[in-house]
Structure 1
Amino acid sequence: MTVEQARTKWGRTKWGRTKWGRTKFGTGRTPAMAIALPSGVVLGMAGGLLSVLVGVTASNPALGFWVFTSCLTMPAVALVYVLVVDRNTLEGAAERPDDSIESGWYDKAASGSFADLILVLGIASIILTFIPRDFFVDLKLVLPAVVAVCFASFGVRYLVLRRKG
């Protein structure tokens, strides 16, 4: 029995692989973009309508509706596509992406950056304990700084691991 016959037998890819893939549900014969495009347009229009109802576009509601709709449609299509596509029906998709070397780099970088985050927050807590009470720290600045440290730590660790190979 070939691999393709085994996949068909166990229901993984019943109709073969295509460039844009097929849906996860139903018979699996419906192209994923046939669901993603209309759903994304509807979600984009709902976002445009929400912007008008909230009053973001008070000066020109019609123009604001179309601007918001056009800006939100493509991300909504992408989101719906990611949710409905069966990756086993995509051409060129890896069989087991969790076993790739990149996945290992990601896991090591994420665990290392979490350890960095705990270290930085611990040191910051100790420093803030000894600062006088009249010193004010604005959380609107501190929390984005913590996120930036996390991004930087993960990015540097991932790039180092990738360079090492």
Structure 2
Amino acid sequence: MHDQQVRTPWGTTKRGGFPALGVAIPAGLALAAALGVVAAAMGATESNPMLGGVVFALCLALPLVALVYAVVVDRGTIKGAADRPEESVESGWYDRAAAGAFTDLVLLAGAGATILAFIPANFPVDLKLVLPAVVLACFASFGIRYLVLQRKG
């Protein structure tokens, strides 16, 4: 734990002790603007590249600010943050839900491969839908398992 450091609601940077949001907001907006320029230069929208670049930058602004914040913030300086999050109850729920979801993924992939092996070659199976279906099943499995573990306490 950082006994000498003052904890603030948004924390400070790992190096220098600057306010983390004071670094994350301008850096994230600059990255979003740069990617907007790249999108406009590459013709994100053929009819109006400038509009496409602006929309691209606006859509990326918040996620990039959040990404920069996650990279630069020192967790030990955030008020109310757990000192050792890997030892929290929620971390245990996450680990158990992820392990169960992986088991579900292996079972689902095995069952799917077995079923596909017996489908005749002339039967139309759109393979573009198979992987998204597997990903959605994994999301659902993890989410349901996590919520059940959370409810159990």
TM-score (normalizing by structure 2): 0.91
Contact 2:40–2:49 (CA under 8 A) maintained in structure 1: yes
2:40 matched residue in structure 1: 52
Which sits farther off after the overlay, 80-89 or 100-109? 100-109
Q: CA deviation at 1:13?
A: 5.3
Q: How far off is 1:131 after superposition?
A: 1.3
Tell me which residue corresponds to 2:65.
Answer: 77
Q: How does 1:1-165 map to 2 (within 5 A)?
A: 7=1, 12=2, 14-25=4-15, 28-165=16-153
Instruction: Give me the whole-angstrom Cα distance separating, in 2, the residues matched to 1:124 and 1:65.
Output: 41
Q: Distance in 1 between matches of 2:3 and 2:24?
A: 20
Q: Report the 3-state secondary structure (helix = DSSP H, G, I; strand = E; otherwise coil) of the residue aligned with 1:24.
A: coil
Q: Is the 8 A contact 1:13 1:89 kept in 2?
A: no
CA RMSD of aligned residues (A): 1.5
Q: Using the alignment, how far apart are the partners of 2:13 and 2:39 within structure 1? A: 31
- Larger-gyration structure (1/2): 1
Aligned to 1:4: none
Q: Partner amino acid for 2:7?
A: R
Residues 89 and 125 (structure 1), Cα distance of their counterparts in 2 relative to 1, 3 Å cut:
same
Deviation at residue 56 of structure 1 after TM alignment: 1.4
What is the distance in 1 between the residues matched to 2:58 and 2:118? 51
Runs of 4+ in 1 over 4 A off after TM superposition: none
TM-score norm. by structure 1 comes to 0.85
Aligned residue pair count: 153
Q: Secondary structure at the match of 1:23?
A: coil
Distance 1:55 1:163, change over 3 A: same
CA distance in 2, matches of 1:134, 1:70: 46
How far is the alpha carbon of 1:68 from its aligned partner? 2.3
Percent identity, aligned pairs only, is 58
Question: Are the counterparts in 2 of residues 52 and 58 from structure 1 also a CA contact under 8 Å?
Answer: no
Q: Distance in 1 between matches of 2:146 and 2:113?
A: 27
Per-residue Cα deviation, 1:12-33 (whole angstroms, up to 9, x for no partner): 35432112211112xx321112
